[in-house]
Structure 1
């Protein structure tokens, strides 16, 4: 609980690199199709103002509740892995090791003598 949140780099693992929401990533005018400079500047200002306002309002109204829900979801995933899935996998490993020994013993008793006999037959063809 003593961890501090990084308020500068909020995506240190680059989870949202695919999400481009800067003005230049969304709107662009090619050569030959240019608006008046004041329109382009005003569009830039309006885009950034409304995007920031709407995003901040959305996160204010919904972000904390959504974060709480995701916290509960990942707590549930951790709970199932710690208390059910990992012990069940360990049980399978233990049971499979016994089954592996049984299969190895049966193979050694039933198939190995046949393979040795065939090997002796074909060894007589050696020069």
Structure 2
């Protein structure tokens, strides 16, 4: 966990790079189809104002509650992994280790001699 919160770079792991939505990413006028300059400038200002205003209002109204819910969800996931899944995997490793040892002994005793005999038989064939 970081000691301090970076208020400048809020996506240090670039997990939301797909959300590039600046004015230039959304609205564009091709060559030969231009609005009046003042309309384009006001559109730019309005877009950025309302995008920022609506986003900030949404985060004020919902962001803290949603963050709390996700915190609880990930706490639950961590709880299940720490107290259930990891011990289950350890138990499977232990039990499967016994089965693996028994299987290896059976293969060594039963299958390996047959394979060695076949190998010796074909070993003498020359081209």
Fold shared by both chains (TM-score > 0.5): yes
| Secondary structure of 2:17 counterpart | coil
Match of 2:76 in 1: 76
Runs of 4+ in 1 over 4 A off after TM superposition: 123-127
Is the CA contact 1:23–1:48 (under 8 Å) kept in the aligned structure 2? yes
TM-score w.r.t. length of structure 2: 0.91
Change (3 A) 1:17 1:2: closer
Q: Distance in 1 between matches of 2:123 and 2:48?
A: 83
Higher relative contact order, structure no. (Cα contacts within 8 Å, ≥ 6 residues apart)? 2
**TM-superposition CA deviations, 1:106-126 (whole Å, max 9, x none):** 112211222233334334546
Shift of 1:98: 0.8
Unmatched segments (≥5 aa) in structure 2: none
Match of 2:12 in 1: 12
TM-score w.r.t. length of structure 1: 0.91
Q: Distance in 2 between matches of 1:84 and 1:24?
A: 49
Match of 1:99 in 2: 99
**TM-superposition CA deviations, 1:39-63 (whole Å, max 9, x none):** 0011011111111111100000000
RMSD value over aligned CA atoms? 1.8
Taking the TM superposition and a 5 Å limit, the aligned residue runs for 1:52-67 are 52-67=52-67
Match of 2:86 in 1: 86
